[in-house]
Amino acid sequence: MNCTNVVGLSVSVVHEGEVVFSDGFGFRDLERQLPVTSTTMFGIGSTTKAFTSTLIGMLIDDAILNLYDPVTHFLPDFMLPVDRQDDSQCRTQQASLTDMLAHRTGVARADFLFMLNGPAGFSVSERSAFVANLQGAESAADLREAWLYNNWGYLVSGQTAAYVAGADTWESLLQTRLLDPLGMRSTSLSFAAAMAGDDFSIPYPFEYLDNTLIEFVGPAGSLSSNAEDMAKWLQFLLRGGRDPRGTRLVSPATLNSLLENAAPLPPNGLLKPTYPFSLTFSGYSLGWFTGVYEGFQIIQHGGDTLGHHSMVTLFPGTSTGVFVALASTDNMVPTLFRELVSNKAFDLLRGVSTFDSDWACSFFHPAYFADSRSAAEVEPAFQLPTGLKVTRPPLDAQGWGSRGKQLTSAAQLTAGTYTHPFWGSLRVWHELNGQETHFALHELNGTLTTGLYNGLDLTLACPDPSVQRFFMTLFGGGVVQNLLVPWGDGNQLYLNLDAPGPVFTLVSSDPTTTDPTTDPVPPPWIHQLEMWMLAVAIFFGGAVFLYWFVRVRANPRSKSLLAEELERENETGAYGEFATGYASMPEEKHGRKINA
């Protein structure tokens, strides 16, 4: 853990129906040095997908769902993008739950969309409207033409399950049909609720977030759990769908259909002799990757939220299951680290050793072992990187920059409102006589400057400090390189998030040099004049106050002259009426007596 910057780690292992290990390592709270235990909660991200597909399987056993019926049979408002070849609606008319669960829709991933509202994200109540709006999403392939990982397919599946079961939400259905029967009492459907508990792993570096934005795509990745509860999940799967009392929740035939390959993948993985073990993946079922580790079949899925990373691995041939969850800020290390922990646990059970801890550290950071020093001597334990770099497609990969309008300055960008049917509207405007070009898409705000490959870099400048911090952490700094590319004749903008990214079209140009949603910004000299006038007013106001204080307030002679004048006027009756009225007031109103 020291050589990988993993702060906290949770592991549970089930073998032949028994929990043989369930414990934690490191810290759930680094500042207070609070340890991770078997009950420490972590966000388990996309390992939630297997819960959703299992719930679908239970409804299939209830004969109210079919994996191969079009989704429109259950959700009439459901729409996908038109087919790429003939602009027909065949994709929408034919897409089934299997296509949703196996990532075969051809729709681009677009995960950044629900992050663009900042830490708040979208609300759960907006799910139905969102499902109906999927027709505006980017199409990267036709239906069943390619395997393209997509969280929206699981959102649609969760909405379908809730609708046919007559449940209010996917959350309530999952709780009553699966979590409660399995006794997974700690598992939370709300990241915010889990975070409010006493035994929660802080998701560095997003410790200030409640991750409610993850809850919008709940069926794809919103669960939080711990080693003890996830051991119950492993037991359920390895028992063929039975709960702790032996009651069957899903039939063996249905469960097996969920675990069978539904989409082939190009062979990929780690191979000998480059690595001390062999691990390959060749397919995706319904919520699981399928592959082989050292000759043993594995069924596996990882999960990532902001700051938490998890993995569930089944070794069906030996009736073994491993759950791993960890907290780390590194965007690559967690994927490999959790894989090594799962493999190491399986190796220990079968009495072999394919790699040791020294190799594991050199695998992540080969330079650490260039000499005889240990990892602990080279890098302090639990050193936290400052940011999380998100992976975005490089602009030069397909010559995207050369296909756009060439700009020598961001000031040449047409100011106005650009729209996309799925991503919404973005705004571009110029300020300071064209010296600054500003950009806003939902909560993502900043100034644009020219970058590489004809791209435009965004310097983050979000008005809300918490939103600014969120995006700076997400993008690993204050500048997002090559975020936009002027497209076609300059009236379109390509957003370089996800792949393929959306192309926004100009719908209304605005020749003014200000943000169209705010009052016009005056020229700089007006602001300078206002500041000078304010300074002069403060100076003279201070001088008058000082004169009064020195000549009257602080001068005993002035005080006595004033008192004599008041007494003389009082005797002549100049203030008689006032003094009489004042004296008639109760004493508590004015605090002293006056002789009228």
For 181-196, the pLDDT digits (tens) are 999 999 999 887 888 8
Q: What are the C-alpha distances in Å from 420 to residues 118, 128, 155, 198, 227?
A: 19, 19, 21, 43, 43
Range of weakest confidence among 294-303, 329-338, 537-546, 562-571: 562-571
Q: What class, spelled out in words, does domain 2-378 have in CATH?
A: alpha beta
CB 514 within 8 A of CB 427: no
User: What is the predicted pLDDT for the residue at 386?
Assistant: 30
Rounded average pLDDT over 130-137:
84
The span from the CA of 13 to the CA of 249, in Å, is: 22
pLDDT for 39: 97
Is residue 587's pLDDT more than 90? Answer: no
Q: What is the mean pLDDT of residues 341-364?
A: 83
Whole-angstrom distance, CA of residue 299 vs CA of residue 320: 11
Both structure tokens of 18: 């028994």
Q: Which pLDDT tens digit goes with each residue over 227-238? A: 999 999 999 999
Q: What pLDDT sits at residue 188? A: 95
Q: How many residues does the chain have?
A: 596
**Taking the C-alpha atoms of 320, 333, 476 and 114 in order, what is their torsion angle to the nearest 10 degrees?**
-20
How far apart, in whole angstroms, are the C-alpha atoms of residue 230 and residue 419? Answer: 43
Query: b/e string for 504-521 if b means 16 or more Cβ within 10 A?
Result: bebeeebeebbbeeeeee
Q: Which of 306-310, 395-399, 478-482 has the lowest mean pLDDT?
A: 395-399
Q: Cα 393 to chain center, whole Å? A: 19
Strand 503-509, strand 416-420: pairing: antiparallel
Helices and strands in the chain, H and E counts: 20, 19
Out of 58-67, 112-121, 575-584, which region has the weakest mean confidence (pLDDT)?
Answer: 575-584
Token pair, residue 579, equals 């003094």
CA–CA dist 582, 352 (Å, integer): 100
Q: Residue 426: what pLDDT?
A: 93
% of the chain exceeding 70 in pLDDT = 73
CA distances 314 to 45, 281, 338, 355, 413, Å, are 17, 14, 14, 20, 53
Of 21-30, 36-45, 334-343, 369-378, minimum mean pLDDT range: 369-378
Query: How much is the pLDDT for 537?
Result: 72
